[in-house]
Amino acid sequence: MSAAIAVAVQAEPAKHGANRKRKSRCIAACDDRERRRTRASKREYMRRWRTDPANRDRERLYEAGIRESRKLRDLQRDAARSTVNPKICGCCRRLKAVTKIERMRATEEGFAPVVVPYCGQC
Ligand SMILES: [Zn+2]
């Protein structure tokens, strides 16, 4: 429907810059109304869909899968970041390392000393 209105509005000959602006605003408003109507209808459909317990279970499983994959992704990212590059500072990971410092790292058996490259500034 909004496409038909948009075509009808565009078919009129353009006279002045101000008119053109007003027309484009009208098209935007029509699109916005259409979009709001579509969103409301989709929201209502999903509300009805969730009333079925089988669908609710399906959605719960889907969301649990998303949470698990995010957790795995974060763990993999942390593991990738923890690899020590001897040329880059182990604290800020931006500046060039000029020395090495000893830091304590938490392990399952308690704290253990670790030698970390350090920039001397951070
Ligand atoms: Zn640093």
* 81 CA from centroid of ligand 1 (Å): 15
pLDDT values of the chain reduced to their tens digit, one per residue, 122 residues? 444 444 444 545 545 555 556 666 677 777 889 999 999 999 999 999 999 999 999 999 999 999 999 998 888 877 666 666 788 888 888 899 999 999 888 888 889 898 889 999 98
* 73 CA from centroid of ligand 1 (Å): 26
**113 is written with which tokens?**
């000393």
Single pTM value for the model: 0.38
Q: Domain limits of the chain?
A: 84-122
**55 is written with which tokens?**
């669908």
Q: What's the pLDDT score for residue 3?
A: 46
**35 is written with which tokens?**
């979009």
* 113 CA from centroid of ligand 1 (Å): 19
**62 is written with which tokens?**
């889907």
Q: What's the pLDDT score for residue 19?
A: 59
Q: What's the pLDDT score for residue 82?
A: 62
CA distance 15 to 19: 7
A 10 A CB-CB count for 30 gives: 17
